[in-house]
């Protein structure tokens, strides 16, 4: 670790680069962890690997030794010169200077990344709109625990439900904050994310996402309470709101607390609500 840490510090000092906390810039400087990431990815010579937040190319170069092509995306223009120089001898690295959230990503088969933690949620859900085999991604530990959380647990959240709907998620191992430079305030975790067709049927995905967001505004409250709040906020006439509130009294799970609801139950609740909305129209 010391050698990689020293190398990273020297490189940043050479270019007079100070990392920006607001951009989630914490570079992984533990060679053992980097090796494990690559091992978990089981890279093949046919793989095109997406790396988000390539930084100064520490992971990028390692990936290039195992895969057909690396798509390295880096937003920070200050790091672009370093990244380009560090990867110059590789002909299978494509560097894209862009905000990953603002571009159409070229086709890829796997994701291997130590991502900027500040974009963990929007990035994860953007990735799940693409077709790829799986991702080996480093997240902050609290985000990772919410990502894989089960109903009834303290960490169970909106993130848990929406991620489960579209993917299999698994924490592979925890990573100490000391493995990064500069060290963040919390530990991290290496997570495997495997996209999957929806685990259950929903009739209206937009409504499903809206309902999940509304319910987990207060996850310790009962479903009937949170549904009433949700419906009251809808932009519709007072009379229609009253009809909706009356009709929803027949929906399932009203006495359960939000944190007890499985994703499948929330999906079923949403489908019933969709029918109720049509009836009240």
Q: Which residues belong to CATH 3.40.50.150 in the chain?
A: 2-195
2-195 has which CATH code? 3.40.50.150
Tell me the backbone φ, ψ of residue 192, rounded to 5 degrees.
-100, 125
Give pLDDT tens digits for 76-113: 999 999 999 999 999 999 999 999 999 999 999 999 99
Per CATH, domain 205-280 is 2.60.40.1120: no
Give pLDDT tens digits for 11-53: 999 999 988 766 668 899 999 999 999 999 999 999 999 999 9
User: How far apart are the C-alpha atoms of 177 and 185, rounded to whole Å?
Assistant: 7
CB of 217 within 8 A of CB of 246? no
Model's pTM, two decimal places?
0.92
275 contact partners, CB below 8 Å, separation of at least 6: none
Residue 178 pLDDT exceeds 80: yes
Q: What is the DSSP string of 32-98?
A: HHHHHHHHHHT--TT-EEEEES-TTSHHHHHHHTTSSEEEEEE--HHHHHHHHHHTTT-SSEEEEES
* Strands 93-97 and 167-175, sheet pairing: unpaired
Q: Which residues belong to CATH 1.10.8.100 in the chain?
A: 205-280
């Amino acid at each position: 670790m010391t050698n990689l840490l020293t190398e990273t510090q020297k490189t940043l000092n050479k270019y007079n680069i100070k990392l920006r906390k607001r951009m989630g810039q914490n570079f992984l400087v533990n060679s053992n962890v980097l090796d494990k990431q690559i091992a978990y990815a089981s890279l093949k010579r046919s793989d095109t690997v997406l790396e988000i937040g390539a930084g100064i190319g520490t992971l990028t170069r390692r990936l290039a030794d195992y895969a057909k092509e690396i798509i390295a995306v880096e937003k920070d223009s200050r790091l672009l010169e370093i990244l380009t120089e560090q990867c110059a001898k590789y002909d299978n690295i494509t560097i894209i200077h862009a905000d990953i959230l603002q571009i159409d990503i070229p086709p890829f088969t796997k994701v291997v990344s130590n991502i900027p933690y500040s974009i963990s949620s929007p990035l994860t859900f953007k990735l799940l709109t693409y077709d790829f085999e799986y991702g080996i991604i480093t997240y902050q530990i609290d985000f990772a625990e919410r990502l894989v959380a089960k109903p009834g647990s303290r960490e169970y959240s909106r993130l848990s439900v929406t991620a489960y709907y579209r993917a299999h998620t698994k924490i592979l191992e925890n990573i100490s904050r000391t493995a990064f430079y500069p060290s963040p305030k919390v530990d991290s975790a290496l997570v495997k994310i495997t996209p999957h067709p929806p685990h259950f049927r929903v009739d209206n995905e937009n409504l499903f996402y809206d309902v999940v967001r509304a319910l987990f505004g207060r996850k310790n409250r009962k479903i009937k309470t949170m549904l009433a709040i949700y419906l009251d906020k809808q932009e519709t006439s007072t009379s229609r709101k009253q009809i909706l509130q009356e009709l929803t009294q027949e929906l399932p799970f009203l006495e359960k607390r939000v944190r007890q609801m499985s994703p499948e139950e929330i999906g079923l609740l949403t489908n019933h609500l969709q029918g109720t909305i049509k009836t009240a129209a």
